Amino acid sequence: MPNDRPPIFIVGVPRSGTTLLAAMVGAHSQIGCGPETQFFHKLTPDQIHAAVTDRLWPHRAVRVISSLTLAKQNVVRLFGLDRRQIGWFLLRRKPSVTAMLESLTLSYARRAGKARWAEKTPNHLLHLDAIRAEWPTAPIVRIVRDPRDTASSLRQLPWASDSVLDNCRLWNEWHAASRDFFRNDSRATTLRLEDLLQAPEHELRRLCAFIDEPYEPSMLDTRRTGAAIASEGEPWKAGVSEAIDRERVYLWRTELPPDVLAAASACCSDGIREFGYPLPEGLSS
């Protein structure tokens, strides 16, 4: 199967809609998107370099790829693969970072009969330079959500804080680390979850133009791809296979107490303004 199209990377602060967007992209007839690889998040630059330069390639590469986990689950198994298949794929490729990641992503896409692969790991928002160094022309798609809703929803994750304000500070840190990249990189774009939920076809048509693929109505049906992307160990992603909920926007208006809302809005005011989200009365100036 020809593989002359650049891959697609989907990133964003966790609980911003990355899983939904990945399921929509993966529902395209030409694009395969599996679970999160956690590749750049879980593997250190030294581990990756040692694997690529190992004279016994691909033995070390197979070992480090097989060490990847997602919510205490083995990533290779989540992709429906095993160590032997990873090794066989890499034996036919020259040692490279690209080959290592594609042993998961491209293998998954090929098995699904797809010509192109996409990868979604939210934490890769903090590794954009590493992605761009290996895939100079790959579209990188960031999805953002009102930071107050993101901070509130982050409380569902086992590693995140129960404090909305702590999660607001985390949102600020991740946004600050990636802001300049998205301002300066011509192959990077941003979608808002609120727009995707309320006008999904319009937003997906805009996205398809950016990634150079024709829009397909099948992208609105995430029942099959949502189940593939959201693993059993991640119950907080279960809703991705359900019908699009156009009302799942600005939940902070009813879910956050007034004092928490005021503090969260003040904490994330720069990001709220940057992405055009409403501020409560008293902080609108």
Look up the domain containing 135 and give its range: 8-145+192-245
User: Average of pLDDT values for 243-254?
Assistant: 86
Is the distance from CB of 31 to CB of 8 less than 8 angstroms? yes
pLDDT of 221 above 80: yes
User: Would you place residue 34 in the very low, low, confident or very high pLDDT band (cuts 50, 70, 90)?
Assistant: very high
pLDDT digits (tens, 9 = 90+) for 36-95: 999 999 999 999 999 999 999 999 999 999 999 998 999 999 999 999 999 999 999 999
User: Would you place residue 223 in the very low, low, confident or very high pLDDT band (cuts 50, 70, 90)?
Assistant: confident
State the alpha helices, DSSP H only, in 57-212.
59-66, 75-78, 83-91, 97-111, 128-134, 147-153, 164-184, 193-198, 200-211
User: Would you place residue 137 in the very low, low, confident or very high pLDDT band (cuts 50, 70, 90)?
Assistant: very high
pTM of the model: 0.94
Indicate whether 207 belongs to any domain: yes
In the chain, how many domains are there?
1
Indicate whether 264 belongs to any domain: no
pLDDT of 2 = 43
First to last CA, the chain: 55
Task: Decide which of 181 and 227 is more confident.
Answer: 181
| Tokens linked to 172 | 């600020």
pLDDT of 1 = 42
Indicate whether 267 belongs to any domain: no
pLDDT of 226 = 80
Cα–Cα distance measured from residue 278 to residue 261, given in angstroms and rounded to the nearest whole number: 12
pLDDT digits (tens, 9 = 90+) for 170-210: 999 999 999 999 999 999 999 999 999 999 999 999 999 99
Indicate whether 151 belongs to any domain: no
Indicate whether 95 belongs to any domain: yes
Residues in Cβ contact with 1 at an 8 Å cutoff, skipping those fewer than 6 apart: 110, 113, 115
Indicate whether 108 belongs to any domain: yes
Indicate whether 279 belongs to any domain: no
Indicate whether 52 belongs to any domain: yes
